[in-house]
Amino acid sequence: MSDAASALPNERTSEDVALGIRRRVFEHTIRNNGGYLSQACSSAEQLAWLYNEELNLGDPTLPMVPKPFGGVPSADNPEYHTGAGYNGPASPAYDRLFIAPAHYALVAYATLIEVGRMAPEGLEMFNQDGSSVEQIGAEHSPGMEVHNGTLGIGLSTGAGLAWGRKKKGESGRVWVYMSDGELQEGQTWEAIQAAAHHRIDNLYAIMDVNRQQCDGAMTSVMEVRDIQAKMEAFGAKVVWIDGHDLDAMREAVKTPHRGQPLIILANTSPFRGMPSLQLRFPRLHYVRFKREDERAKMNRDIARSLGIEPIDYA
């Protein structure tokens, strides 16, 4: 972790936070008959580690219950703000986080709740008309600073900010949370190359390598082959880890990378904690139940796996 500790007290273990993320996303998915459930399986430990241990963030600057969408920035909307305030103020010493895959928004909101940065009531506003708690996170959504709905732009945004912060002598780092589907976008590779060329070593990224995307398994859409070799050829420092192993994350971030961006490749399972989801493979991107008996069975089976009672959604 960076020198200054996060402003919020670390009262829970990251293991407990990760379990809470999965339980919360599962409950939401069952109640609403739809949700990005496999993303919670693959990313929970990484987001728990970032928010609960690694990121140096100040206290949230926005209300615990998110305000409705207040409109786009303009001269007539002086109160406009992004959702980054849930990560605290953008002060020079604090870290900044960009969540590049905007469809992970439900998991990101659950993480904010689990670490005490957003109220649970905020999730009740999810995907409602007029709400800032968007299904696909936008720049005004809790925890979001820019719109990353087009996969592939997150690392470029983070690299640009990190370069500016380095030139200004700011000690805060820039973190980008990514998904491996972004490797099919050329802009991702341009960002790595530019960050290496400009020696932007205050740029950190952790990538959820779950090998899944909207249309199924990545290998059936576009093979990306040896990720580490390609990233290293573009100039990044790269570390492979088990994306569910918190100790591995704690060690990976210590890897020396002077003059290079550090990219942590987190090998993950889209069924982690919810093995019943394997029955839906390879269609895991968005989980919606077409039959009531399927919904009821998944409710029972996954609840058992997560150590809770089935969700009462009647």
Instruction: From first to last of the 314 residues of the chain, give the pLDDT tens digit.
Output: 544 445 666 789 999 999 999 999 999 999 999 999 999 999 999 999 999 999 999 999 999 999 999 998 899 999 899 999 999 999 999 999 999 999 999 999 999 999 999 999 999 999 999 999 999 999 999 999 988 766 789 999 999 999 999 999 999 999 999 998 888 889 999 999 999 999 999 999 999 998 887 777 777 678 888 999 999 999 999 999 999 999 999 999 999 999 999 999 999 999 999 999 998 888 888 889 889 999 999 999 999 999 999 999 98
Phi, psi values for residue 151, rounded to 5°: -60, 140
pLDDT reported for residue 7: 62
- Between CA 153 and CA 158, with CA 155 as vertex, the angle to 5 degrees is 110
**What is the value of pTM for the model shown?**
0.94
Domain 14-65+81-306 fold: Rossmann fold (3.40.50)
Measure CA of the first residue to CA of the last residue in the chain; give whole Å. 44
Rounded Cα gap, residues 177 and 263, in angstroms: 10
Nearest-5° Cα angle at 42, 190 to 142: 75
Name the helix (H) or strand (E) containing 210. none
Question: What pLDDT does 140 receive?
Answer: 94
- How much is the pLDDT for 6? 56
For residue 138, what are its two tokens? 């936008």
Helices 37-49 and 105-114, axial angle in degrees (round to 10): 40
